[in-house]
Amino acid sequence: MTTDFPSLRYVIGAAAWLLVAGAGGAIGQSAPSDDGMRIYKSANCVGCHKWSGNGGGSYGGAAANLRQTQLSLSEIEETIRCGRPMAGMPHFQPDAYSDGKCYGLKESDLPEDKRPPGTNHPLRPADIKAVAEYVATQIKGKGDPTFAQCQKFFGSGTRVCDTYATQGESKQASAPNAVDASSHPRMQVEAAPDANAPNGARK
């Protein structure tokens, strides 16, 4: 039995190259949530929804509380892509209303004052998907913001998160007494009444 050593060396070499290339690709790629967080920052989602996603008052009105949103991943993606007509949420797809793929509407179907505003930070489809996944997996349903979440967003070298460091102590100290929600802004839902509802439930 003879062995074709050049062919064998070729096969082994090709396999080794694929393993190295695959490992390099995995090492070089960031996690989807990291990409989403980066885009959330660079597209200035923080300007309306705050770093935590709590939303509240902004230039466009009452931004949705993303921590309490009922929207599915696909609905979050659609909202980022298309914005919200007759509301302050901008559309991040530049040609969102050119073909009727956003809520079945074209630009000509909406009066100028009812169109979602554009943005200075248009996003590619992959970026829209990444930031939607970040909102759906890292913000939605996460309860009140925590010190650890704040540090993950801003880094450990910031003082921005100091207010959350003693959060647990404050809650423990006030637990025996009844709490008046109106006197604690963090306990209020700072969002439009229907801002967190699925598309079908919006008025």
Task: State which residues form the domain around 63.
Answer: 31-143+191-201
Q: What is the dihedral of CA 177, 68, 137, 202, to 10 degrees?
A: 170
CA–CA dist 29, 24 (Å, integer): 9
Q: Per the domain annotation, does 22 fall within a domain?
A: no
Q: Per the domain annotation, does 94 fall within a domain?
A: yes
CATH of the domain at 60: 1.10.760.10
Q: Per the domain annotation, does 26 fall within a domain?
A: no
CA–CA dist 45, 50 (Å, integer): 7
Residue 100 pLDDT level (bands cut at 50, 70, 90): very high
Span of 8-22, 35-49, 101-115 with lowest mean pLDDT: 8-22
Q: Per the domain annotation, does 16 fall within a domain?
A: no
Span of 9-18, 164-173, 176-185 with lowest mean pLDDT: 176-185
Q: Per the domain annotation, does 14 fall within a domain?
A: no
CA–CA dist 148, 137 (Å, integer): 16
**179-195: average pLDDT:** 36
Residue type, 103: Y
Domain count, the chain: 1
